[in-house]
Amino acid sequence: MTQKIDKNSIRDAYHDVRDDSSETNWAVLKYNVNMIVLDSTGSDFDEFKTKFSDEERVFAFLRVITGDELSKRSKFALITWIGQNVPAIKRAKSSIDKSAVKDIIQSFAVELQINAPEELQEEFIQEQVRRAGGANYGVGHR
């Protein structure tokens, strides 16, 4: 069975996060009964981290500014969170549901599966995006 998904609101949030003129740099998608819906958007990473719990499955799209002092650019991460207390059947179904999310959220530098709060850190995510993006040629990188 294909997952029901609120395509319009998720697509709008996706474009908002991708828009460099927008302050919105993340969107969080959650399950509402049997449908994936846009839960929230925002710009504060500390607020972003509060959107994940051990009882939930969450998809998130995040803008990350990368580069060095010579060149800054926006890159994007697609994050799948499966809390530690999510039942096995729902864990398994998440990979199928992720394909429905990826039909809308199509452009990202890195895809991360995060299950532990210590990985849900801005520095960790930035490092994963940097690794996926290749070399930095700034003054500090000789």
Instruction: Give me the pLDDT at residue 2, please.
Output: 47
Give the residue-averaged pLDDT of 8-26.
97
Length of the chain (residues): 142
**Mean predicted lDDT score pLDDT of the chain:** 89
In angstroms, what CA-CA distances link 140 with 70, 81, 122? Answer: 10, 34, 21
Per-residue model confidence (pLDDT) at position 1: 46
Q: Give per-residue pLDDT as tens, 29-46.
A: 999 988 999 999 999 999
The DSSP call for residue 119 is: G
| pLDDT given for residue 3 in this prediction | 67
Q: Could you read off the pLDDT of 62-85 as tens digits, one per residue?
A: 999 887 777 788 999 999 999 999
> pLDDT of 113-128, one tens digit each?
998 888 899 999 999 9
Q: Left if phi > 0, otherwise alpha if psi is -120 to 50, otherwise beta: which for 140?
A: alpha
Residue with tokens 């319009």: 8
SS3 helix, strand, coil % of the chain, rounded to 5? Answer: 35, 30, 35
CA 124, 125, 126, 130 torsion: positive or negative? positive
Percent of the chain with pLDDT over 70: 90
d(CA 63, CA 72): 12
pLDDT over threshold 90, residue 135: no
pLDDT at 59 over 90: yes
Tell me which CATH homologous superfamily contains domain 4-132: Severin (3.40.20.10)
Q: What's the pLDDT at 22?
A: 95
Inter-residue contact 57 to 31 (CB < 8 Å): yes
